[in-house]
């Protein structure tokens, strides 16, 4: 099959990787460059979704995707120097109010007797044994042992390069329209002309909204800006990733401590701001007072595709036949990317997906 993919982020490149593995003719359309938006500027934290319901579809999807991440880390690492900086990095989900503590303890109780899941509840005293620099304002935290980190730019690029070696083509053009005929997609149109395809995968992040609206497919999707700071912080590095409220702090393989993030509904404005910088630093210092001595090295911003329920859309919609949507990973786009790509590749070719994505259909918003 000839399959066109719109968007060179993690979802699009993972879809290309799995499709070319099955021998399909793939063309990726990206107006800028691979991983030049959210997928290239994300944190790259791969932490399991922990809730009070292990059977929750989102939690299952994240678990499947973590397994795929581990496989990809082995398959895409080669002797030519490819290194995704994939590593195990336990996470601590911190709480600082009694309400947060009660909610987290309820989640913990769900997993306490599950020997296959490395989850532990830690008091503030136990937390400070892990890192004495954590503020005593914290009441405790949930330790998740089977969590990981990856370099999201390197991962996305490696997925694409593997697909390219199998024959996939990259066209650096903006898709202006998904073209349909007799209620079936027949390809895509750019300013340079029409390119035919048997199926089209819309994986263009928040930019999917306009493309799909033009063919009568309404997707409740909006950009959510997130900003991240990279700090040159006093030693020693953080041995675990710390998460609190909507924020995080971790020392990455570049030796810098990454702290973030914001959630800004500002349309398609992806510029960094001093206001966000100050908010992030203030929150980080409240948790880790030693960061007051850190030096700001870099500030980045990106636009993440977010749905109203913060879950992705992975669907061959009841619109034009041959159209597949793979978007809405939001803040967990890197975590979910491999599973989204595997599922989208199956949907595009009419096969049964090994990943159950029935809970992530567009129809749930009807």
The answer to whether residue 334 scores a pLDDT higher than 80 is yes
Other beta carbons less than 10 A from residue 364's beta carbon: 15
Average pLDDT over residues 331-353: 96
pTM reported for the whole predicted model: 0.95
CB 345 within 8 A of CB 11: no
What is the structure's pLDDT at 352?
Answer: 83
Q: Please give the residue that has the higher pLDDT: either 154 or 106.
A: 154
Tell me 321's DSSP state. B
- In 3D space, the residue among 222, 195, 21, 208 whose CA is nearest the CA of residue 186 turns out to be 195
Q: Please give the residue that has the higher pLDDT: either 119 or 299.
A: 299
What is the structure's pLDDT at 52?
Answer: 67
Cα distances (Å, whole numbers) of residue 31 to 143, 190, 268, 318: 41, 10, 15, 27
Average pLDDT over residues 321-346: 97
Other beta carbons less than 10 A from residue 345's beta carbon: 28
The per-residue pLDDT for range 247-272, each reduced to its tens digit, is: 999 999 999 999 999 999 999 999 99
In the sheet where 45-46 sits, what is the strand order?
Answer: 45-46, 148-149, 87-88
Cα distance between residue 207 and residue 39, in whole Å: 14
Q: Is the dihedral of CA 147, 153, 155, 159 positive or negative?
A: positive
pLDDT averaged over the chain?
94
Instruction: Render the burial of 43-54: b for 16+ CB within 10 Å, e for the rest.
Output: bbbbbbbbeeee
Cα distance between residue 342 and residue 18, in whole Å: 6
* 3-state helix, strand and coil shares in percent for the chain, rounded to the nearest 5: 35, 30, 40
CB 225 within 8 A of CB 219: no
Cα distances (Å, whole numbers) of residue 72 to 16, 78, 238, 267, 278: 14, 11, 25, 33, 37
pLDDT band at 80 (very low <50, low <70, confident <90, very high): low
Which stretches of 222-336 are assigned E, i.e. beta strand? 222-232, 241-244, 247-251, 257-260, 295-306, 313-315, 323-327
């Amino acid at each position: 099959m000839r399959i066109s993919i719109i968007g060179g982020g993690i979802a699009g490149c993972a879809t290309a990787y799995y499709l070319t593995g099955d021998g399909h003719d793939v063309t990726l359309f990206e107006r800028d460059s691979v991983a030049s938006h959210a997928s290239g500027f994300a944190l790259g934290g791969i932490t399991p979704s922990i809730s009070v319901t292990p059977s929750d579809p989102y939690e299952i999807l994240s678990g499947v995707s973590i397994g795929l991440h581990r496989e990809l880390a082995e398959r895409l690492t080669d002797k030519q120097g490819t290194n995704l900086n994939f590593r195990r990095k336990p996470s601590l989900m911190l709480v600082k109010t009694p309400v947060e503590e009660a909610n987290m303890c309820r989640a913990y109780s769900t997993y306490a007797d599950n020997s296959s899941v490395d989850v532990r509840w830690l008091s503030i005293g136990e937390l400070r044994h892990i890192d004495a620099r954590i503020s005593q304002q914290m009441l405790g935290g949930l330790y998740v042992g089977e969590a990981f980190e990856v370099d999201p730019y390197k991962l996305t690029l490696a997925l694409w390069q593997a697909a390219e070696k199998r024959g996939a083509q990259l066209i650096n053009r903006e898709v202006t329209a998904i073209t349909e005929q007799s209620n079936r997609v027949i390809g895509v149109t750019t300013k340079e002309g029409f390119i035919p395809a048997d199926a089209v995968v819309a994986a263009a992040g928040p930019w999917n909204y306009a493309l799909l609206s033009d063919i009568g497919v309404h997707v409740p999707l909006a950009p959510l800006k997130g900003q991240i700071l990279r700090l040159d912080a006093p030693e020693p590095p953080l041995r675990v990733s710390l998460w609190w409220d909507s924020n995080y702090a971790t020392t990455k393989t570049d030796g810098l401590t990454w702290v973030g993030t914001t959630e800004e509904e500002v349309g398609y404005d992806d510029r960094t701001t001093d206001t966000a910088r100050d908010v992030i630093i203030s929150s980080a210092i409240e948790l880790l007072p030693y960061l007051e001595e850190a030096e700001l090295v870099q500030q980045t911003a990106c636009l993440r595709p977010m749905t109203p329920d913060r879950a992705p859309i992975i669907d061959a919609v009841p619109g034009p036949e041959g159209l597949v949507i793979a978007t809405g990973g939001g803040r967990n786009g890197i975590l979910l990317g491999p599973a989204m790509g595997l599922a989208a590749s199956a949907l595009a070719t009419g096969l049964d997906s090994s990943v159950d994505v029935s809970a992530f259909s567009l129809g749930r918003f009807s």
